Amino acid sequence: MSTEIQAGSDLRVKYMRGHEDRGEREVQMLENGEQHTHFRSRQTEPNSEKKLPAVRRSCFRVFTVSLVLLYLLILAAIIIRYFSVILEKENLETRYNDLNKTYTELKDNKSINYIQLENKYNKNYSQLQNKVKKLEEKNESLTVNYSELYISYNLLQDEVKMLNNIIEEGKLCPKGWKRFGSSYYFKSTEKKSWYDSRYDCQSRGSDLVMINSKEEQEFVVNLTKNEEFWIGLRTEWAEIEKQWIYVWKWVDGSRLKETFWATEDPDPSQYYHATCCDQQGKWTQTNSDSYKTWICEK
């Protein structure tokens, strides 16, 4: 039993020693590794120092090549621009010469046109001056004629006044006529139909009497001495308010302004014309074929 215990303790001692020896070896290996690494780093430092100048030289070459290329590009651009400027200058010179030539031609044409216009203007001006002179002469003659006409007009006005005064005095009243106001009246002594009576008045430069006032009505009544006679009133077919009917009208086509009928306004008929006057000096209507005396007015 004791022998087994002792054998077990010997095994533990060996195990512990073996474990310690392995730890020491590991420590030595670590130390050797650090030394080896330090040694390698010392060996690589000179190589890196040798590589730095080579890199710098390659960068310098690239930079130099880039500068050369940039210079060449700038030079090419300058050369191209130079030739383009020369071409543009030549084009401008050509255009300038063309414009100068055109300007010279226009100037010459302008001079020619100016001379032509000046001649035409002078010619027209001379013609206008002649026309003005003729118009002035006509104006002078018209002024003289106007003065003469004005004098003649004044003389005629004086003569008209004298004639009016003579007429007012009744010295120029036609034979067989009587004056009332501004009209003259003729009373017939024979009898005829209405149309024949009017024809007789027209042959005397007048027409059947048209009565337009109470004073004229009284004057005409005094001429007749209670005898019926034709007056210039008749019926006509006319359109009144969109209806065709017979209406009373004077021989000059005018409508009645004032009436003096013996009864209420009689209905106009195709075959009836007005006469004057009855015992009271009023109008009546009679067939136009009846024979009566008449009164003319002018």
**What is residue 3's predicted lDDT score, i.e. its pLDDT?**
45
Which CATH code for domain 175-297? Answer: 3.10.100.10
Mean of all residue pLDDT scores within the chain: 77
pLDDT digits (tens, 9 = 90+) for 137-187: 888 888 888 888 888 888 888 788 777 766 665 556 778 888 888 888 999
DSSP for 96-132? HHHHHHHHHHHHHHHHHHHHHHHHHHHHHHHHHHHHH
Burial class (CB in 10 A: 0-12, 13-18, 19+), 180: middle
Select the highest-mean-pLDDT range: 46-55, 56-65, 75-84: 75-84
**Confidence at residue 166, expressed as pLDDT on a 0 to 100 scale:** 61
Q: Are 208 and 295 in contact (CB under 8 A)?
A: yes
d(CA 75, CA 80): 9
Identify the pLDDT of residue 4: 46
- Strand bridging mode 283-287 / 293-297: unpaired
What is the structure's pLDDT at 270?
57
- Output the pLDDT for position 78: 92
How much of the chain exceeds pLDDT 90, in percent?
11
What residues contact 223, with CB distance under 8 A and at least 6 apart? 178, 185, 187, 295
pLDDT digits (tens, 9 = 90+) for 199-255: 999 999 999 999 988 899 889 888 877 788 899 988 887 777 778 888 888 898 888
Task: Kindly report each contact of residues 237-245 with a partner whose C-beta sits within 8 Å and lies 24 or more positions away, as own/partner.
Answer: 237/270
- For the chain, domain boundaries: 1-122, 175-297
pLDDT of residue 45: 47
Q: What is the length of the chain?
A: 298
Residue 24 has pLDDT above 70, yes or no: no
pTM over 0.75: no
Q: Please, which pLDDT band fits residue 197 given cuts at 50, 70 and 90?
A: very high
H-helix or E-strand containing 69? helix 2-168
CB atoms near residue 186 (< 10 Å) = 20
